[in-house]
Amino acid sequence: MTDLTLYYMPTCPFCQKVITFMKKNDIEIPMKDINEGENRQGLLMLGGKTQVPCLVIDGKAMYESDDIITWFKDNAKKLKQAF
């Protein structure tokens, strides 16, 4: 099973693009707001920068919103979700 976390910021339009895609396609994964707690530092340690959105896939950071949406589309079967 793939371990997924989306790092985001509520005010970020690129994050909203990803989140809107997720909602439309019933994709529910753990999400971390980088304005809360230690999340910003956690993202920095994982991926080397604090840019959001960032999808962390099995510990590996993917930073671009278009790449994240493409990854969701490409991995629909793997995740057993109907996108």
Ligand X SMILES: N[C@@H](CCC(=O)N[C@@H](CS)C(=O)NCC(=O)O)C(=O)O
Please give the residue ranges that form the binding site for ligand X (CB under 6 A): 12-14, 49-53, 64-65
How many of the other CB atoms lie within 10 Å of CB of 6?
21
Q: Which is nearer to ligand X, 17 or 77 (CB)?
A: 17
Give the pairing type, strands 31-33 and 4-8. Answer: parallel
What is the nearest approach in angstroms of ligand X to the Cβ of residue 9? 6
Q: Between 13 and 59, whose beta carbon lies closer to ligand X? A: 13
User: How near is the Cβ of 15 to ligand X at its closest, in Å?
Assistant: 7
- Residue 31's H or E segment, with its range, is strand 31-33
